Amino acid sequence: MIIAVCGLISSALSTSPLFSLFPLVQWLFFLGGLPIVIAWWRPGTKIVVTLLWAYVFGQMASTAYALATGPVVGNRYQGLSHHTNAFGMAGMTAIAILLYLYAHHRGVHARVIVLGAGGISAISIIMSGSRAAVVVAAVLVLLIPFVERSAVSGFVLSILGALALVAFPLLVQSGHAGSALTRLAGDSTAVVADQARTSALDYGLQKFWERPVVGSGMADVEVIHDVFLEVAVGIGIIGLAGFLICLVVLCRPLLTLHVHRRLSYLPLAYIGMGPALPSIYDRTMWVPIALSMLAVIKAPDAAEADAAAPVRVIGSRSLAPRTSPGPATA
């Protein structure tokens, strides 16, 4: 409600009300309309899993298409997405989804498939050249021990992290120009992108201080390339506060034992990508993010309660004490 009111006021006071209202309506649909539909629908776990796998398989198909068609601008791959950064963002979103699916599927074979899909998603991120997607995906993986409350996961990730640090220089040398790893190391394409983002940030800060309270409207805010600054410029500091509250509400279940809490990896990933995103209503992330509303409003039923248990590494044994069945009765 805060976002809608602030958006309408800023649009009415802007120099181009109609051009401001159109992106505002799109944004409100993804931020409010789609989650409300999910909350009204309340799909069961099987449907949620099917929808999530559909997204993952879509990214697998996009990666295959990217390999078949080759790179586009700057030796970066785009796949079936509308931009190279969107391709990387979709790969990162697929990894966030797979963190949920890994916990849902308890069988070894299913989890091997999940891990394989995660590997392909990671490769798609590197192919895209998106540095932000690489960093956010790495942070999501590092958060697993804290979310799952698992010492075993923490130990495994610490070993893998040490190996990754040792292998990073070798991966950069062997990677193709334009890949996410070479761009993280600071190749020529990264320098040009950094200069463009700096100019966009300066422009955004200048626009923000023109109307910091009510905002200047949503028209053309995507040129700023920073979601949070775009919101502040578009609907003002009060609207930005409302937006941050919405994101916190969607992320908060990640710290609970709710059966769908791992869906909150998705809005958390959006927060991480925010400073590098040009579009506040990018469908690549907001369509699956809407499912995280289930972790906010849907109470777990008895049949789903077991899925809320902390995830274990394949082959590991639970250290939780087993409850005694109690004395037998006649």
Give the domain ranges of the chain.
Answer: 2-306
Q: Which residue has the tokens 């059966």?
A: 259
Question: Chunked in runs of 10, what are the mean pLDDT values of the chain (330 residues)?
Answer: 86 85 90 91 93 97 94 87 91 95 92 92 89 89 82 64 54 57 67 81 90 88 89 92 94 91 94 87 90 81 50 48 45
**For residue 217, what are the contacts with CB-CB under 8 A and spacing of at least 6?**
10, 11, 13, 14, 15, 16, 17, 19, 20, 234
User: What was the pLDDT predicted at 317?
Assistant: 45
- Cβ 280 vs Cβ 246: under 8 Å: no
Q: What is the pLDDT of residue 299?
A: 60
Nearest to 130 by CA among 194, 195, 81, 179: 179
Token pair recorded at residue 76: 């970066």
Task: State the pLDDT at residue 197.
Answer: 84
Backbone CA torsion sign across 182, 183, 188, 189: positive
What pTM value is reported for the model?
A: 0.84
Beta carbons of 8 and 238 less than 8 angstroms apart: no
pLDDT of residue 177: 59
Distance separating alpha carbons of residues 265 and 30, to the nearest angstrom:
17
Three-class SS of residue 258?
coil
Hey, what's the torsion of the CAs at 314, 317, 321, 322, to 10 degrees?
Answer: 90
Say how many CA atoms lie within 13 Å of 1 toward its Cβ.
0
- Which residues contact residue 120 at a Cβ distance below 8 angstroms, ignoring those fewer than 6 apart? 59, 60, 63
Nearest to 133 by CA among 190, 180, 186, 100: 180
H/E run at residue 1: none
- 314 DSSP assignment: T
